[in-house]
Structure 1
């Protein structure tokens, strides 16, 4: 069994005016994310939206020292970007669609994602979204450590750091044994 994990494809990470935007790199992968998502939805595979959720002026979150405030609860910046928002709205009531609010880079950290996957017998994870070298990377490392088979859709991941993006793709393949597909 397989699942799609769609990571942080929100306005703050993708829109031109997003507070931590990948800009044109993130916008360029929209169609690839939509295509992969449609395939998983059509096959009734499990689709997880793993989305950063931060509180305004949280003095305890370590990311506040590293990045500008982003994906703040209740803001437009936290909403899914572009047409993916419509896809989610159309499918969100389906048993095969699941939303996770995440506080850390990895979709596994502090969430029930591993439990949700294991109770469905899922062993294969497909990852799409942003940022390749941050949240996608940390999710992949945790998935590897938990024993999942991982597939990264190369044309459906992006970063605001082109060097970090390329490094992460190489790390996925060389260090985690991840399958990279177009």
Structure 2
């Protein structure tokens, strides 16, 4: 069976110093580990998927609108993939093993075709990296667990706003979801 690397929300708004909802330096430090993983997955003919938070400017139906400042507005620089990960995507976007799509909830499975995409390719193992460990990465992992995927979290390829949130999420991945931590 094939496996997939999910690179969650590695955008300017979540990663760049001046992003509207930035994790900052901890997220910027993920750039090389994420690129290394992506290259490894493509070399092995596995899949690299980039579920990317995407919101409408005045989407008052989305609960994030009430919880956070505007971020990842579709079509803005803030929603573009950050730095070298963005460059990597530009170079590899025509590869049939690379897939990028917008999501509008924490989980990359909610309101998307991700589950169908994975099942059509007989993918049963998902590696989940990116930001934020205790928000979108966590909710995507919970959704993967509920759909019976094997979950791997590469610890050096996830980041969030607080050390406490990161520690709690890593324990939850391992002890509650049965994820493998690498």
Stretches of structure 1 lacking an aligned partner (at least 5 in a row): none
In the TM superposition, what is the alpha-carbon distance from 1:161 to its structure 2 partner?
Answer: 2.1
Structure 2 runs not aligned, ≥5 long: none
Q: Distance in 1 between matches of 2:165 and 2:138?
A: 10
Measure the CA separation in 2 of the matches of 1:57 and 1:120: 36
What are the Cα deviations for residues 75-102 of structure 1, in whole angstroms up to 9, with x where unaligned? 1010001101111011111111111210
For 1:129 and 1:122, the matched residues in 2 are separated by: 20
Aligned to 1:118: 119
C-alpha displacement at 1:112, in angstroms? 0.4
Give the aligned partner of residue 142 of structure 1.
Answer: 143
- SS of the residue 1:21 aligns to: coil
Match of 2:154 in 1: 153
Q: Mapping of 1:12-161 within 5 angstroms?
A: 12-161=13-162
Q: CA–CA distance in 2 between the matches of 1:162 and 1:21?
A: 15
**Matches of 2:15 and 2:64, distance apart in 1:** 18
1:29: Cα distance to partner?
1.2
CA RMSD of aligned residues (A): 0.7
Deviations 1:129-169 (A, max 9, x none): 00000000000000000000000000000001221111001
- Distance apart, 1:57 and its partner CA: 1.6
1:176 is paired with a residue of what secondary structure? Answer: coil
Q: For 2:42 and 2:69, how far apart are their aligned partners in 1?
A: 34
Would you say how many aligned residue pairs link Structure 1 and Structure 2? 181
- SS of the aligned residue for 1:155 comes to helix
Whole-Å separation in 2 of the counterparts to 1:46 and 1:34? 13
Distance 1:21 1:160 in 2: 8
Provide the TM-score with structure 1 as the length reference. Answer: 0.98
CA–CA distance in structure 2, aligned partners of residues 59 and 65 of structure 1:
8
Cα distance in 2 between the residues matched to 1:82 and 1:163: 27
* SS at 1:171 equivalent: helix
1:10 is matched with 11
State how far apart, in whole Å, the 1-side matches of 2:132 and 2:106 are: 9
